[in-house]
Structure 1
Amino acid sequence: MKKRALWKDVFREIGRTKARFLSIFAIIMLGVSFFSGIKSAGPDMLDTAATYYKDLRLMDLRVQSTYGLSEQGIEQLRGIPGVQTVQPVYSSDVFLGDSGLIAKVYSYADNNELNGYKLTAGHLPAASGEIVLDEHLREEEKFALGDSITFGGEAGETPEKSFRTKTYNVVGFAQSPQYIETANRGTSRIGKGTADAFAVIPEGDFTLPVYTEAYLSFKDTAAQTAYTPAYDKLIEQHLPEVEEALKDYPAQRLEELKTEAVAAAKQAAAQQGTQQPQPQQQQAAYAAQSQPELPKVYVADRTINPGYAEYKDNADRLSAIASAFPVFFFLIAALVSLTTMTRMVEEQRLQIGTMKALGYGAMDIMTKFLVYGTLASLAASIAGLAVGFTFFPDIIYNAYSSLYNLPDVIKSFYPSYAVISIIVALVCTTMTAMIASRVELRSNASVLMRPKAPKSGQRIMLERFKFLWTRLSFVQKVTARNLFRYKQRMFMTVIGVAGCTALILTGFGLKDSIGSIAERQFGGIMKYSALVALHDNATPADQASYKELIEQETAVTGTLNVLQEAVTARAKGVNDQEVRIFVPSDTAELASFVNLKDRSTGKPRVLSDEGAVITEKLAKLYDVAPGDTLTLLDSNNEPFQVKVAAVTENYVLHYVYMTPAYYTEVFGKEPFYNTQLLNYSGKDTGWESAFGEKLTANGQVALVSFSSGVGEAFEGTMDSMDIVIVVLIVSAAALAFVVLYNLTNINVSERVRELSTIKVLGFYDKEVTLYIYRENILLTLLGILSGSALGVILHRFVLSTAELDATMFAPLIKWQSYIYAALLTILFSGIVMAFMHIKLKRIHMIEALKSVE
């Protein structure tokens, strides 16, 4: 019976104070949904990718050798204990017709078990002359089903050496688990050094004598999930096992090559009708046809695939952000809940005193408030979890969809995050209810049954400054005294508004940082107008034709020949990064095309023969500074040491700038200038399109890239992050509204007799409203100022946490963003004031002034 009466009393209280209950509900729901949603987005992303890898049977390890993998080597791999599948494949790099695009072509057989393909159109290659292309080539409308493609190569790398036929019919498009990034397809041995796509043809169309690589999977990893410590630990064990199993293979392969060279020499001699070669002749023939160096074997795990490791880092960044942002929500929720529950307990002093006089225990009296707070937090937690686990992962995952080609996100329920959310929510409400009620219960029944004495007026600090105090009007003096009279509410309001302003400013600041990248990179740093990639096997006629084309185009104001070569930066504990070697033929002319400078001081960086200039994000990732060395691997996985001479400002991708002399010193060869940079001015996109058509029609031109188009494409990619920023701003704005409404409502409720008194004294409704809102406006302005400073700190934290490996965000917040954040906060404050004005007009003066005595 007692319990039933308690529940009736609680529900009656909820019905009587719906605004108060809903305000606690709203602020807790915001905090829980934000925490659970962003916290679950990272694991959902990893689960989606891991399921994708498992469905398409992504390999565990990849084995390559500089002279290929013979059948003997494949058998050695099959003999490794614990190996489940060994899948040898052929691969080669080719140009796709005259498109200028470079593809990594892989062999396909019906019995392939690893590295499957997800068809998006058509079917897998079944007959000779059929090819399946990378899906993003279809999305970019480069090729369509039924198109015919003829493979092209460079000097010494003609397709006839690798393929049975050079012409293929496009029968399908697919995605591969080896390439989850939208565009990055790794390095290439031809052209500009980077691949644009992958392609798949029947295994029988390859004519290579040995396999180029082999994929391995293990029995004990089949049940494990990618990106987990358990899986990573198993791979760490298997990688040295494979290397140990193949330690004798290089010598064996060298002997095979020697035997093949001698046999080839004998066959050539027989065809020419000469005598059998002598041992010295055999050795000379061997030296002429094969390099005598010992072959090298490379064993790599999944992290060698473009985007594999960075995808996990992005998910982990989200978790890091999720650990910081909800702190604001929950902290503000706790402060507001404390103020709200304190007010609720104070309103019920008479009831508490009566119950205490009747012999009720402290716990019996306290239960009502605990149940009230618990109901609000539990209901809000359930709603927040439902929104968080379903709504936020979709938004965040879709923002990353432009960077990765993965299936729809798999959403899961995470009990640990739910428990944490509920516990924190209960602490914010139930614990504050307990604290507030215990404070009141310290008084005896007779004291509680009398109204709480108003706070005594005290001199405030401002009064000590007579020259200032005497110049204030009566209303201004009252406002100043009221602010310091209700110190708790003053600090709550300032903290609440500051937190909201900081979150809103961070959202706008992220927009500024991301949005300014394209402008700073393409135009500020990369000053050239166009980049032309050149074939190295162009005929003299094509070369002369290209030179004439550039010379006759009067709009072109300058040219610079450049070597651009893709390499890989590697260091322990850091994800491999694709790096572009950049070597200008004339270092004196470089400043007209690329602006090398220090980001902080603006001091120019000058190339010298003593070392390389590397980009800022690359230096940050590998923790290198001028005087240190950086390890770079070429397309054959050969390591080279590069000395860092200086660090330059850069925001997109990684570059290493060298003089021709230093390039020769590091790599032991003269630079081959495979790219030309062009400058022109005063031309629109129409002219660029026409000029581009002329260039691509030339036989020496492999690819043309206009800086304007690259910048726009990058802006389009970064625009996908807008939705995350919008969610952040909307959530912060909603929090601002709830905080201001709740605290203003409490302010009015606490001072209803005071407000009734001044209404009786002749104050008009607008004057009564201003009497309250002068304080609110001042506190809101203080909160905005504090929040702006806090927002700068939070913005820097988010930038350092959310950056992609290949991107550096510009650390700036535009002055307009400060204004937007302030105006949004003021807007919500104004909306709250409008609601409160209506409530103030409805105050019943006589009822409010009646004394309980």
Structure 2
Amino acid sequence: MKPLTKNMLRSINQAKGRFIAIILIIMLGVLIFVGVKATGPSLNNSLNKTVADKNLSDVQVVSTTGFDKKDIKLAEKVKGAKAETTKFKYVMGGKSKVAIALYGYDKDSKQNQLIVRNGRLPKNSHEIVLDKNARNKYDYKLGDTFKFSKSADLKRQSYKIVGFVDSPQYIDNQSRGVTNIADGQVSLFAYIPKKQMNLATDTMLNVRFNSLKSKNTFSKDYKNAVNAKVKKLKKEFKGRAKQRTNEVASTYLSTLNQQQKQLDQLKAVNPTAVAIQQQKLDTAKEKILKQAKTTYTWQTRQDLTGFSAYGESSDRIAAIANVFPVFFFLIAALITFTTITRMVEEARGEIGTFKAFGYTKWEIAKNYFYYALSAGLIGAVLGAVIGTETLPRIVLSMYKQYIALDWVISSTWQTLLIAVIFSLLATVGAALLVVRRELGEGPAALMRPKAPKSAKKILLERIKPLWNHLSFNSKVSYRNLFRFKSRMFMTIIGIAGGTALILTGFGIQNSITASGNQQYKDIFSYQAVVKLNENANLSKVDRILNKDKNYRSNTRINSTTAKLNYDKKQVNDVNVYTPTSAKDFKKYVHLTTNLDKNKVALTKKTAQLLNVKTGDKVKVTLTSGKKVNLKVGAITENYVGHYLYLSPKTYRQKFGKLKTNTLLLSLKNQTSAQRKHLANKLLDSKQVMGTSYTYDVSDTVSKMSTLLRPIILILILLSGILSFVVLYNLTNINVSERIRELSTIKVLGFYNNEVTMYVVRENIILTIVGIILGYGVGNLLTAYILNQAATEQVIFPLTIHWIGYVVATLLMIIFTAIVMLVTHRKLKHIDMIGALKSNE
């Protein structure tokens, strides 16, 4: 073995801690970078595999009058389309009379295939398979009888449970969608044999395109392709609704037309009686035409319950991955660069000796190159393997809100390549840079110790009253801090970075939770929205409400939805609220403006998406088709959804008569059962279309933070570990750099504790400064990530609770204390004579 190689191996053996520290820092940086970067795509690809294997339809269409073979042929005119129909409707049933999405089971169906979790699929007419939640939440078992309400209108009311299933249409275990029956929330889905449903025709059309199967459900490419297919389908179905209306109506109208002919023959005999009968026939015809009117509801996968939330969750992780790990990695790389630089500088004497012996510059440099390369590669490979194989799996395993997925762990070669390049730049780059600089000097200069930095007056010294009151040790510490500026800045950056990363972890979690809390406590003070029927009797509704012990009060509004356009930009599904009394409305919705004064208020996120400012005019298209231009008088705070608020005066000017169609209810805290009871009572009155509770929406928003919790905890944990390794490494560099100085003061009679404090006192000051700077950086980093993570529907207010600051501060203090104890033990056993020996 060559002397140079022997010397390098001996150096590694003597300073194992430093070599391991470099590997650890690089490993942590790569682990978090590669791991978090892989998590978002892994979530998407795992769900994508599940829905592809189970042939989830790309497009679903629900018809008010059903579908027949003509509709299947129409759908399949679109290139690549495979269409099939099924029976579907919302019914009530079960022990608690909950809302159920009921489907007709057909064993020959190729799309939306069920995932059996327990038992089997139906074989006989009296059998049913239930949503897995029926077993988990409602304690149903195989062999139990499940009973539907009479209003379900089925061939039989009771069915034997033979299986519990998951469906690719319902990926979110905690949500099954909304409906206009019961409390507005679908609790379960179920499948019974198709023929058991008393429906004349199939009511749902499922369409799938094989060309889209290979595309990622959440990619823009897939979404654009599906939207293009929907346009083609709608084009094929243009005019079909009217044709279908006539087909359905003609069956019933033929009988009435026969009666009409008979009445025409009797007109001369008894004109008065005939006129009355004809009036009844006309009314019956109008009713039939109204009931036979065909409307289609189109939806893609993104409209299915849970899909958008799942996609947005992985997008939020991707947003975190674009900022958090990069910042983390930069800190790791910076500290590694400093460590390698210091290592080479310490070896000046050895470099000079080898140079004097006649070794070439490359022969000397390559050993340091190999040292840095081995440390960088070991750290990068370990980080890449551990990050790719653990982080995505941990997060996926904690996504219990969603159905069990087939795991697909994804990591791109670009991410791995970036991680390796950065690792080698931080290690090999530092080694080559410093060795090249050192080799520029002659052997004699290299074999002599580097001249110590000359002391200079610091700013604090110029403040005489303060400086004169400091102790000798304090003066030394402050002067040393500014004497070794690079080490000071590195330590501050390390501490500030660690504090900021920990604080950011808490901030992301707190801010996502805060969006729901602030929306449904600070902005909305109502707990339920009651949608009234067209000719509802409000006095009947009030009587039901007044009988409920949790009811407080209500305010009457007109609510509708609209599409907003401004300068080629568009926002859909905007809730338009107009109170009948602006003064009363203030108690239920707290706007940051006076609605009567400004007349039209638009919520902040909606204004941002449209790029609208106060004074601009937006084009408003209501669901009824009416279009008006409205001048935005104010922009108001809002965190969830899109809202446009009109004053009563503005509404009357633009739309005419202001009619109440919605009630906002103020309620005391209710249990789930109490919410269902009130909703059912209102529905039974025939005055109400449905009731929705803000609790359900708030709960959905709060689940966002629950989904991110696993990855946030991992980020906080790894940030803490990085902070500790950084602090430990920098302290070691500090001690080794000043070993002669520390040995000198020990020889001069300083006690062990005083020698330790000589170094640690500087650490304490730098830790305090780093923590304070970390607070600011943490807030900025959190704000940036939240801005990236915001969706079209939800924005997140920057919120970091005191516990985040406390944990970040305590961790830094604990790390400093641990490093202090380790340093103390090391300094107790320092070889003073060896350290003070001259290198010459």
- The aligned amino acid for 1:330 is F
Conservation of the 8 A alpha-carbon contact between 1:560 and 1:584: no
Secondary structure, aligned partner of 1:87: strand
**What corresponds to 1:368 in structure 2?**
367
Tell me, yes or no, if the aligned pair for 2:34 and 2:411 is still in contact at 8 Å. Answer: no
SS of 2:479's equivalent? helix
Task: Tell me, in whole angstroms, the C-alpha distance in 1 between the residues paired with 2:645 and 2:403.
Answer: 32
Larger deviation, residues 212-221 vs 345-354: 212-221
- Contact (CA 8 Å) 2:212, 2:222: kept in 1 or not? yes
- Aligned partner of 2:383 in structure 1 is 384
Cα distance in 2, alignment partners of residues 87 and 660 from structure 1: 48
In 1: Cα distance, 2:18 partner to 2:76 partner: 70
Aligned residue in 1 for 2:321: 322
Residue number in structure 2 paired with 1:15 = 13
**Alignment counterpart, residue 238 of structure 2, candidates 242, 247, 256:** 247
SS of residue paired to 1:332? helix
* Residues 554-595 of structure 1, C-alpha deviations (whole Å, 9 max, x = no match): xx6732266798969798999998777777776654444x24
- Which of 776, 782, 785 in structure 1 is aligned with 2:769? 782
8 Å CA contact 1:47–1:410 kept in 2: the answer is yes
Given candidates 817, 820, 836, the residue that maps to 1:833 is 820
| Contact 2:554/2:663, CA 8 A, preserved across alignment | no
How far has the Cα of 1:19 moved from its partner? 0.7
2:740 aligns with 753
Task: State the TM-score, normalizing by the size of structure 2.
Answer: 0.85
Report deviation, 1:48.
Answer: 0.6
Displacement of 1:699 in angstroms is 8.1
Rate the CA distance shift 1:571–1:849 in 2: closer, same or farther, 3 A.
Answer: same
- Corresponding position of 1:770: 757
1:62 match: secondary structure: strand
Shift of 1:67: 4.7
**Residue 87 of structure 1 corresponds to which residue in structure 2?**
84
Alpha-carbon deviation of 1:447?
1.2
Structure 1 residue 28, shift from structure 2 partner: 0.6
Asked if 2 retains the 8 angstrom alpha-carbon contact of 1:192 and 1:674, the reply is no
Query: Any idea what the Cα deviations from partners look like across 1:336-389, whole Å, max 9, x if unmatched?
Result: 222212221122222211221222221111111111111111111122122211
The counterpart of 1:49, out of the listed 38, 47, 50, is 47
In the aligned structure 2, how far is the partner of 1:228 from the partner of 1:28? Answer: 32
Is 1:559 matched with 2:536? Answer: no
Q: What SS does the aligned partner of 1:88 have? A: strand
% of aligned pairs identical? 35
Hey, what does 1:484 align to over in structure 2? 482
Residues 531, 677 of structure 1: 8 Å contact kept: no
In the alignment, the residues of structure 2 paired with residue 696 and residue 252 of structure 1 have an alpha-carbon distance, to the nearest angstrom, of 37
Amino acid at match of 1:354: T
Partners in 1 of 2:538 and 2:338 — Cα distance?
A: 83
Query: 8 Å contact 1:568–1:579 — kept in the other structure?
Result: yes
The 5 Å alignment of 1:314-713 reads: 314-402=313-401, 404-407=402-405, 409-516=407-514, 519-528=517-526, 546=544, 549-550=547-548, 553=549, 558-560=552-554, 588-592=583-587, 594-598=588-592, 606=595, 616-617=604-605, 628-629=618-619, 648-651=636-639, 670-673=659-662, 676-679=665-668
**1:200 aligns to 2:191 (yes or no):** yes
* Partners of 2:176 and 2:305 within 8 A in 1: yes
User: Which letter does structure 2 place at the counterpart of 1:762?
Assistant: G
How far the C-alpha of 1:430 sits from its partner, in A, is: 0.9
| Matched-pair contact (CA < 8 Å) for 1:521–1:652 | yes
Contact 2:545–2:551 (Cα < 8 Å) also in 1: no
Secondary structure at 1:732 match in 2:
helix
Pair 1:235 & 2:216 matched: no
Structure-2 change in CA distance of 1:641 and 1:799 (3 Å): farther
1:741 CA displacement: 0.8
Give the alignment partner of residue 109 of structure 1, picking from 93, 106, 111.
106
Distance across 2 between alignment mates of 1:139 and 1:583:
42
Is the partner of 1:199 in helix, strand or coil? strand
- 698-707 or 738-747, larger mean C-alpha shift: 698-707
Aligned residues of 1:44 and 1:393 also touching (Cα < 8 A) = yes
2:206 paired with 1:215: yes
- 1:136: which partner in 2? 133
Distance in 1 between residues matched to 2:223 and 2:695, nearest whole Å: 42
Q: Is 1:842 paired with 2:834?
A: no
Quick one: structure 1 residues 645 and 91, their matched pair in 2 at CA, closer, same or farther if it must change by over 3 Å?
farther
Deviates further, 712-721 or 506-515: 712-721
**Letter matched to residue 15 of structure 2:** T
Matched length: 821
- Of 826-835 and 288-297, more deviation after overlay is shown by 288-297
> Once the two structures are superposed, what CA deviation does each residue of 1:436-481 show, in whole Å capped at 9, x if it has no partner?
1111111011211222222223333444444544444433332232
The 2-side partners of 1:135 and 1:313 are apart by 25
Q: Structure 1 pair 764/344, CA: closer, same or farther in 2 (3 Å)? A: same
Conserved? CA contact 2:756–2:824, under 8 Å: yes
Q: Secondary structure at the match of 2:116?
A: strand
* Aligned equivalents of 1:100, 1:571: Cα separation in 2: 42
Rounded to whole Å, the distance in 1 between the matches of 2:205 and 2:658 is 30
- Give the distance between the partners of 2:287 and 2:27, measured in 1 at CA: 75
Q: 1:58·1:178 contact (CA, 8 Å) conserved in 2? A: yes
Contact 1:309 / 1:575 at 8 angstroms: preserved in 2?
no
Residues 584 and 660 of structure 1 are in contact (CA less than 8 Å); yes or no, is this contact kept in structure 2? yes
Cα 1:66/1:670, change in 2 over 3 Å: farther
Residue-by-residue CA offset, 1:323-345 (whole Å, 9 max, x unaligned): 21122222222222222122211
Post-superposition Cα deviations, 1:199-222, rounded to whole Å, max 9, x if no partner, equal 333221334344333111223234
Give the conservation status (yes or no) of the 8 Å contact 2:48–2:217: yes
Structure 2 gaps, min length 5: 268-273
Relative to structure 1, the CA distance from residue 528 to residue 730 in structure 2 (aligned partners, 3 Å threshold; closer, same or farther) is: same
The reply on whether 1:820 has 2:807 as its aligned counterpart is yes
Q: Distance in 1 between matches of 2:262 and 2:174?
A: 49
What residue number does 1:742 align with?
A: 729
Q: 1:724 offset after TM fit, Å?
A: 2.9
- The range that moved more, 620-629 or 304-313, is 620-629
1:431 offset after TM fit, Å?
0.6
After superposition, the C-alpha distances for 1:602-627 in whole angstroms (9 at most, x for unaligned) are: x5x5479965x665555556666665
1: distance between equivalents of 2:532 and 2:371? Answer: 74
One-letter amino acid of the structure 1 residue matched with residue 507 of structure 2: G
| Residue matched to 2:271 | none
> Which residue of 139, 146, 149 corresponds with 1:148?
146
Aligned equivalent of 1:156: none
Distance 2:569 2:118 in 1: 37
The one-letter code of the counterpart of 1:747 is N
- 1:760–1:845 contact (8 Å) kept in structure 2: yes
Shift of the 86–557 alpha-carbon distance from structure 1 to 2, 3 Å rule, reads closer
**Secondary structure at the counterpart of residue 312 of structure 1:** helix
Which amino acid is 1:106 matched to?
Y
Q: Distance in 1 between matches of 2:642 and 2:79?
A: 40
Contact 2:121/2:163 (<8 A) preserved: yes
Q: In 1, distance between residues paired with 2:731 and 2:822?
A: 10
Deviations 1:758-816 (A, max 9, x none): 11111111111111122222222221222111111011112223346654433222345
Distance in 1 separating the partners of 2:453 and 2:542: 93
Unaligned runs of 5+ in 1: 154-158
CA–CA distance in structure 2, aligned partners of residues 661 and 170 of structure 1: 57
Do the aligned residues in 2 keep the contact of 1:86 with 1:216 (CA within 8 Å)?
Answer: yes
CA contact (8 A) 1:528 1:679 kept: no
Aligned counterparts of 1:152 and 1:653: Cα–Cα separation in 2:
37
The CA deviation string for residues 465-523 of structure 1, in whole angstroms up to 9 with x for no partner, is: 44544444433332232222211111111111111111122123234334545654554
